[in-house]
Amino acid sequence: MFKGTSIEQDPHFSDKHEKLKKSMTFPENFYQKVDFKKVNIEVMRAWITSKIIDILEVDDDILVNTIVGFIEENGNETDPRDLEIDLEAFLGDKTNEFVEELWSLCQMGEKSKDGIPECLKKAAEEREARERREKERGRYRTKYRRTERSESRERNKKK
């Protein structure tokens, strides 16, 4: 007969992540799954970016990509409790508020036809309009430069 401790009793082999999840309290909506195929991830990425800038006062692309990657990698199995535990080191006291708001927005996005929560639709439309304007400006600048270059060449030929 073997004597000693089992794996469950030995702290070296226990799942610290699971213990932490059991010891923390989470909002009720964290226990509801989200179908991320129905959520517009790009709109959520923009919201995550702006919220991270608000919290950290720095544009942290790595953290944004980590959060979005966590969601995309886990898909419908994404557990906001795991996300909150993972982000605690980065966001500190603001973690619970951030993840709770993110999860609520994802749930709203899942229920809407286009995957965008109602409260973010206006911001998404403004962002798309701004991107279209910037794209048009880029085309205009390119066209203007081409015209300017061809006129310059013609002047140089005449000299």
Q: How do residues 128-153 score in pLDDT, each as one tens digit?
A: 888 889 888 877 666 666 666 667 67
Q: Give residue 142's pLDDT.
A: 66
Residue range 104-128: mean pLDDT, rounded: 89
Read off φ and ψ for residue 6, nearest 5 degrees. Answer: -80, 170
The domain limits of the chain are 24-158
pLDDT band at 94 (very low <50, low <70, confident <90, very high): very high
Residue range 96-106: mean pLDDT, rounded: 95
Check: CB of residue 44 under 8 Å from CB of residue 55: no
Q: Give residue 77's pLDDT.
A: 87
Note the CATH number of domain 24-158: 1.20.1390.10
- Name which of 16-25, 38-47, 101-110 the model is least confident about: 16-25
> What does the mean pLDDT of the chain come to?
84
For 86-130, the DSSP string reads HHHHHHGGGHHHHHHHHHHHHHHHHHSTTS--HHHHHHHHHHHHH
Other beta carbons within 10 Å of 22 = 8
